[in-house]
Structure 1
Amino acid sequence: MMTLVLAMVWHRRGQAVTLALLALLAVAAAVAAPAYLVAADRAVAAGQIATASTGELTLTVRATQDNQTREGPGDDFADLGGTLIALPGFTYYYSAETPTVGLEKTDRYPSRLVFRQDVCAHVRIVAGRCLFGEGDALLGEQTAKRYGLAPGDDVTLSAATMDTSGGTPRFTAAGRPKTLIVAGVYRAVRPAETYWGRQGYFVGGPEIGSGEPVFTTAMTLPATDRTTTSMAIDGIAAPGTLDIGRLDALRTELNQLDRAAADLDQTLQIETDIPRLLDRIDEGRAAARLLVPVLAVPLVLLACFSIHLTVGYGTQGRQSELAVVALRGARWWSRWWLATGESLIAVLAGALLGCLAGQLLTNAVTAVRFPGVGQTADWSSLRYAPVAALIALLAAVAAQRRQLTRQVAGLLRRTTAPAGRAPFGEAVLLVLALLAGGQLFLTHGSLTGIGLFAPAFVLLTLALLVSRALLPLLGRAAARALHRGRLGPALAGLQLTRRPGAARLFALLVAAAAVAGYAGCAVDTAVRGRDTQARLSAGAERVLTVEPVSGRQLLAAVRAADPERRWAMAAAQISSGGEHPVPGLAVDTERLARVAIWPAGAPSVTAVANRLRPERVTPTEVAGPALAADVTSSVGRLRLTVTVSSVAGEAVADLGELRQGRSTYRTQPDVCRAGCRINSLEISATGRDRVAGRLVLRGLGNQWLVSERGKLSEAPEGITLDVDLAPEYAETVRLRPAGVPDPLPVAYAGEAPVAITGLADEPVPVAGVVALPAVPSLGRDAFLVDLGYVGLLGSGTGSVPRAQVWLSAAAPADAVERLTAEGLTFADDTGAAAIRARLDRQGPALSLGFYLLAAGLATLLGVGALVLTVTVDRGRRTEDLVALRAQGLRRGPAGQATFWTYPVLVTAAVVTGVLVALVGWWVTGWALPLAGVHPPDLPLPGSPRAGVLLWWTAAILLPYLLAAVLGGRDLRRRIG
Structure 2
Amino acid sequence: MIMLVLAMVWHRRGQSVTLALLALLAVASAVAAPAYLIAADRAVAAGQIATAATGELSLTVRAVQDAMTGDGPGDDFADLGGTLIALPGFTYYYSAETPTVGLEKTDRDPTRLVFRQDACSHVRIVAGRCLFGEGDVLLGERTADRLGLAPGAAITLASAVPDNSGGVPRFVPAGEPKTLTVAGIYTPRSPGETYWGRHGYFVTSLGFAGEPVLTTSMTLPAMDVVRTEMAIDGIAAPGALDVDRLDRLRAELRRLDASAAELDQTLQIDTDIPRLLDRIDEGRAGAALLVPVLAVPLVLLACFSIHLTVGYGAEGRQSELAVVALRGARWWSRWWLATGESLVAVLAGALAGCLAGQLLITAVVAFRFPGVGPAADWSSLRYAPIATLIALLAAVAAQRRQLTRPVAGLLRRIPGPGAGRVPYAEAVLLVLAVVAGAQLVLSGGSLTGVGLFAPAFTLLILALLASRTVLPVIGRIAAGALRRGRLGPALAGLQLTRRPGASRLFALLAAAAAVAGYAGCAVDTAVQGRDAQARLSAGAERVLTVQPVSGRQLLDAVRAADPAGTWAMAVTQLPGGGLAVDSTRLAAVAYGPFPTLDQIRPSVVEPVTVTGPELAIDVTSDSDRLRLSVLVSSSAGEASVDVGELRRGWQTYRQRPEVCRAGCRITGVEIGGSGRARVTGRVIIHSLGDRWLASERGTLSAAPEGVTVRADVNPAYAEVVRLRPAGVPDPLPIAYAGEVPVAITGLAEQPIPVAAVATLPVVPSLGRHAYVADLSYAGLLAAGTKRAQQPQVWLNAAAPADAQARLAAHGLTVVDDTGASAIRDRLDRQGPALSLGFYLLAAVLATLLGTGALVLTVAVDRGRRAEDLVAMRVQGLRRGVAGQATFWTYPVLVSAAVLVGMLVGLAGWWATGWALPLAGVHPPDLPLPGRPRAGVLLWWGGGILAPYLLAAVLGGRDLQRRL
CA pair 687-363 structure 1, distance change in 2 beyond 3 A: closer
Output aligned runs, 1:660-809, within 5 Å: 662-682=650-670, 697-706=685-694, 714=702, 716-719=704-707, 734-809=722-797
Deviation at 1:196, TM superposition (A): 1.8
Q: For residue 847 of structure 1, what is the aligned residue in structure 2?
A: 835
Please provide the CA RMSD for this pair: 2.3
Output aligned runs, 1:893-932, within 5 Å: 893-932=881-920
Q: For residue 476 of structure 2, what is the aligned residue in structure 1?
A: 476
**How many angstroms apart in 2 are the aligned matches of 1:610 and 1:324?**
91
AA partner of residue 592 (structure 1): L
Q: For residue 613 of structure 1, what is the aligned residue in structure 2?
A: 601
Q: For residue 31 of structure 1, what is the aligned residue in structure 2?
A: 31
CA pair 661-90 structure 1, distance change in 2 beyond 3 A: closer
AA partner of residue 612 (structure 1): I
CA pair 145-631 structure 1, distance change in 2 beyond 3 A: closer
Aligned counterpart for 1:860 among listed residues 848, 868, 893:
848
**How many angstroms apart in 2 are the aligned matches of 1:782 and 1:774?**
8
Aligned counterpart for 2:873 among listed residues 872, 885, 889:
885
**How many angstroms apart in 1 are the aligned matches of 2:958 and 2:768?**
60
**How many angstroms apart in 1 are the aligned matches of 2:802 and 2:366?**
37
Q: For residue 61 of structure 1, what is the aligned residue in structure 2?
A: 61
Q: For residue 442 of structure 2, what is the aligned residue in structure 1?
A: 442
AA partner of residue 585 (structure 2): R
Deviation at 1:675, TM superposition (A): 2.3
Deviation at 1:210, TM superposition (A): 3.6
- TM-score where L is the length of structure 1: 0.95
Q: For residue 71 of structure 2, what is the aligned residue in structure 1?
A: 71
AA partner of residue 412 (structure 2): R
Deviation at 1:374, TM superposition (A): 2.4
Output aligned runs, 1:354-365, within 5 Å: 354-365=353-364
**How many angstroms apart in 2 are the aligned matches of 1:629 and 1:183?**
40
CA pair 474-389 structure 1, distance change in 2 beyond 3 A: same
Deviation at 1:151, TM superposition (A): 0.9
Q: For residue 263 of structure 1, what is the aligned residue in structure 2?
A: 262
Partner of 1:783, secondary structure, is strand
Deviation at 1:107, TM superposition (A): 1.0
CA pair 665-157 structure 1, distance change in 2 beyond 3 A: closer
**How many angstroms apart in 2 are the aligned matches of 1:651 and 1:360?**
66
Deviation at 1:313, TM superposition (A): 0.9
Deviation at 1:78, TM superposition (A): 2.9
Q: For residue 945 of structure 1, what is the aligned residue in structure 2?
A: 933
Deviation at 1:656, TM superposition (A): 5.5
Deviation at 1:956, TM superposition (A): 0.4
1:635–1:693 CA contact under 8 A, matched in 2: yes
Output aligned runs, 1:443-592, within 5 Å: 443-576=443-576, 583-592=577-586
Partner of 1:176, secondary structure, is coil
Output aligned runs, 1:336-375, within 5 Å: 336-375=335-374
CA pair 592-386 structure 1, distance change in 2 beyond 3 A: same
CA pair 742-547 structure 1, distance change in 2 beyond 3 A: same
**How many angstroms apart in 1 are the aligned matches of 2:626 and 2:171?**
27
- TM-score where L is the length of structure 2: 0.96
**How many angstroms apart in 2 are the aligned matches of 1:367 and 1:728?**
70
AA partner of residue 758 (structure 2): V
1:520–1:949 CA contact under 8 A, matched in 2: yes
CA pair 273-631 structure 1, distance change in 2 beyond 3 A: closer
AA partner of residue 295 (structure 1): L
Q: For residue 580 of structure 1, what is the aligned residue in structure 2?
A: none
CA pair 422-788 structure 1, distance change in 2 beyond 3 A: farther
AA partner of residue 949 (structure 1): L
**How many angstroms apart in 2 are the aligned matches of 1:712 and 1:90?**
60
Q: For residue 579 of structure 1, what is the aligned residue in structure 2?
A: none
AA partner of residue 553 (structure 2): Q
Deviation at 1:724, TM superposition (A): 7.9
* 2:590 pairs with 1:596: yes
**How many angstroms apart in 2 are the aligned matches of 1:636 and 1:464?**
94
2:80–2:259 CA contact under 8 A, matched in 1: no
Partner of 1:758, secondary structure, is coil
CA deviations 1:950-971 (Å, max 9, x no partner) are: 1000000000000000001111
Q: For residue 168 of structure 1, what is the aligned residue in structure 2?
A: 168
Deviation at 1:637, TM superposition (A): 6.8
2:159–2:173 CA contact under 8 A, matched in 1: yes
**How many angstroms apart in 2 are the aligned matches of 1:217 and 1:792?**
43
Q: For residue 280 of structure 1, what is the aligned residue in structure 2?
A: 279
AA partner of residue 141 (structure 2): E
**How many angstroms apart in 1 are the aligned matches of 2:754 and 2:25?**
64
Deviation at 1:525, TM superposition (A): 0.8
**How many angstroms apart in 1 are the aligned matches of 2:795 and 2:770?**
21
CA pair 746-293 structure 1, distance change in 2 beyond 3 A: same
1:40–1:374 CA contact under 8 A, matched in 2: no
Which shifted more, 720-729 or 376-385? 720-729
Q: For residue 156 of structure 1, what is the aligned residue in structure 2?
A: 156
Q: For residue 302 of structure 2, what is the aligned residue in structure 1?
A: 303
Q: How many correspondences in the alignment?
A: 962
CA pair 154-718 structure 1, distance change in 2 beyond 3 A: closer
Which shifted more, 258-267 or 717-726? 717-726
CA deviations 1:231-284 (Å, max 9, x no partner) are: 122222211121211111111111122112222333322222211111111111
Residue ranges of structure 1 left out of the alignment (5+ in a row) = 577-582
2:319–2:411 CA contact under 8 A, matched in 1: yes
Deviation at 1:357, TM superposition (A): 0.7
CA deviations 1:593-631 (Å, max 9, x no partner) are: 111122xxx3xx4x5233111121111112244434444
Q: For residue 412 of structure 1, what is the aligned residue in structure 2?
A: 411
Which shifted more, 53-62 or 366-375? 53-62
**How many angstroms apart in 2 are the aligned matches of 1:119 and 1:721?**
51
CA deviations 1:545-585 (Å, max 9, x no partner) are: 11111222211111111112121111111223xxxxxx111
Q: For residue 236 of structure 1, what is the aligned residue in structure 2?
A: 235
2:571–2:579 CA contact under 8 A, matched in 1: yes
**How many angstroms apart in 2 are the aligned matches of 1:408 and 1:611?**
87
Partner of 1:848, secondary structure, is helix
Deviation at 1:386, TM superposition (A): 2.2
* 2:225 pairs with 1:226: yes
CA deviations 1:30-87 (Å, max 9, x no partner) are: 1110110111111111111111122211122222111233332335633442334421
CA pair 261-632 structure 1, distance change in 2 beyond 3 A: closer
**How many angstroms apart in 1 are the aligned matches of 2:118 and 2:720?**
51
CA pair 729-360 structure 1, distance change in 2 beyond 3 A: closer
Deviation at 1:152, TM superposition (A): 0.8
CA pair 593-102 structure 1, distance change in 2 beyond 3 A: same
**How many angstroms apart in 2 are the aligned matches of 1:964 and 1:920?**
27
Q: For residue 311 of structure 2, what is the aligned residue in structure 1?
A: 312
Q: For residue 959 of structure 1, what is the aligned residue in structure 2?
A: 947
CA pair 205-452 structure 1, distance change in 2 beyond 3 A: farther
CA deviations 1:826-876 (Å, max 9, x no partner) are: 111111111111111111111111000000000000000001110111010
**How many angstroms apart in 2 are the aligned matches of 1:690 and 1:159?**
32
CA pair 654-136 structure 1, distance change in 2 beyond 3 A: closer
Q: For residue 88 of structure 1, what is the aligned residue in structure 2?
A: 88
AA partner of residue 385 (structure 1): A
Deviation at 1:398, TM superposition (A): 1.0
**How many angstroms apart in 2 are the aligned matches of 1:724 and 1:775?**
42
2:165–2:716 CA contact under 8 A, matched in 1: no
**How many angstroms apart in 2 are the aligned matches of 1:733 and 1:114?**
37
Deviation at 1:315, TM superposition (A): 0.4
Q: For residue 426 of structure 1, what is the aligned residue in structure 2?
A: 426
Q: For residue 145 of structure 1, what is the aligned residue in structure 2?
A: 145
Deviation at 1:660, TM superposition (A): 6.6
Residue ranges of structure 2 left out of the alignment (5+ in a row) = none
